[in-house]
Amino acid sequence: DRHADARRARALTVRAKGDGDGRSGGGGGRDGSGYPEYFLDMGPRIRKTFPDEPDFDTNDWDVICDVRSPSEWREDHIPGSISTPVLDDEQRARVGTVYKQESPFLAKKIGASLVAQNLSRIMDEHFLHREKDTKVLVYCWRGGERSLSLAHVLSRIGFTVGFVPGGYKRYRAGVLEFLRTMDGFRYHLIAGKTGCAKGKMLEQLKAQGAQVLDLELMAQHRGSVLGEDPESQFEQPSQKMFDTRLWEVARHFDRSRPIFVEGESSMIGRVQIPKNTWKGMRAGTVTLLEVPMASRVRWIRAGYEHFETTETDRLVQKLQKLIPKVGHKKVNEWERWVEEKKWDEFVEDILINHYDTAYALAAARSGRDDDAAEFLMLPDTEDETYAAAAAELIRKWDVARPPRGEKPETAEPAEAEIANAASS
């Protein structure tokens, strides 16, 4: 075909001219840098941003858009990001099927049509009310077409736009690389039997400026058969999301100071403490809390109030899992007390006959030597008592790493000060 041959010749001529201009450094670019004259120069409008770098700060961005599918976002995402999918789960599956079974070109056409529709929705929902100086970071799975589609539109409008080369895949690799260094920290474990308000001690330590990892808070679980958190609809994060939460907190810590953390098992519900974090914890120093049984019972009842009100049936169901450990007779007795609302009797008995035994076994499995721990006897779980105890722990343990061969400052526990705080 004579016309087809002519079109091909013109195309080759344009390509040759463009290539020639690019090599020769001609003045086709708007900045005189030699951008090929025969190609559209989009300009330096989108900034590369790397969330795995130490100085990355989510607060530098007004909006962080995760354009992956909703299920990908739910599994894990950069902290502070919102889900703005350019293809939802069903659409992504449809495009992928067409790509594999029919034609990559057809898949791209279908995908482009769907992306265009979704970009309109994203603009309406998230950007129509935004000012021009809004800073937006955009990422997808590996920094490809999905994130570039939204980044391009936002940059053409005039927003300040960042783009993550390598996308979530690069970010996740950075998280894992950091977590491999977690055994480089020093750890001080807050240990003690169930009901000693270890989480409250961590809260007091954090409030007074200590470096704290609240792993149960990150895991949305209290680390026992009854430990599901009703505030999270009894759901836990994925392992990847748990890793992200740990990374987000720990990456800001000073490695010359210790991290205070609760003495946990390696598993918290369905998520696992990362290997090198667990390794560091096992080598840490330990403070073992002890409080009177009556205080432990009150603390447990306050923290698990949902089992006495809206989730009693769930409690009875959970108790069945303890039959292999304590037997049918004991579980039947607990069920009777639950039915009769004898909550003090039930809580004290399950602490003695299940939780205290389980705690001792878990401590032994972890390799932690509680006999070598520093014991801290507290008269109750009141705020004043724990505030004074936290201040003493910080004074004793929250010091910069001592020179090689030396030990941290030691001092007798300020038990009188803690007791005075409790009685005042």
The predicted-structure confidence for 207-236, as pLDDT tens digits, reads as follows: 999 999 999 999 998 767 666 666 666 689
Check residues 364 and 12 and name the one with the higher pLDDT. Answer: 364
pLDDT tens for each residue of 48-105: 999 989 899 999 999 999 999 999 999 999 999 999 999 999 999 999 999 999 999 9
The average pLDDT across 163-188 equals 97
pLDDT of residue 76: 98
Helix (H) or strand (E) holding 133: none
pLDDT, mean over the chain: 86
pLDDT at 372: 78
Max avg pLDDT among 3-17, 132-146, 214-228: 132-146
Summarize pLDDT for 147-163 with one digit per residue, the tens.
999 999 999 999 999 99
pLDDT confidence bin for 146, thresholds 50/70/90: very high
CA distances from 66 to 72, 130, 161, 163, 174 (A): 9, 18, 13, 11, 17
Band of the pLDDT at 5, cuts 50, 70, 90?
Answer: low
Length of the chain: 424
Rounded to an integer, the average pLDDT of 31-35 is: 54
Is pLDDT above 50 for 30?
no
Higher pLDDT, 164 or 411: 164
What whole-number percentage of the chain has pLDDT above 70?
81
Cβ neighbours for 70, distance < 8 A, ≥ 6 positions apart: 83, 85, 88, 89
Answer yes or no: is pLDDT of 39 > 70: no
The C-alpha angle 170, 176, 181, rounded to 5 degrees, equals 130
Q: What is the CA radius of gyration of the chain?
A: 29
Go through 382-402 and write b for each residue having 16 or more CB atoms within 10 A of its CB, e for each that does not. eeebbbbbbbbbbebbbeeee
Is the pLDDT confidence value at 167 over 60? yes
- Which residue reads 């720990």 in tokens? 250
Percent with pLDDT over 90 in the chain: 70
- Quote the CA–CA distance of 389 and 413 in Å, as a whole number: 9
pLDDT score at 358: 85
User: What one-character-per-residue DSSP string does 193-205 give?
Assistant: -TTS-HHHHHHHH
| Number of neighbours of residue 51 by Cβ within 10 angstroms | 23
Q: Rounded mean pLDDT of 248-264?
A: 95
Say if residues 219 and 268 touch (Cβ distance below 8 Å): yes
Instruction: Say how many C-beta atoms besides its own lie within 10 A of residue 122's C-beta.
Output: 20
Q: What angle do CA 279, 281, 284 make, to 5 degrees?
A: 115
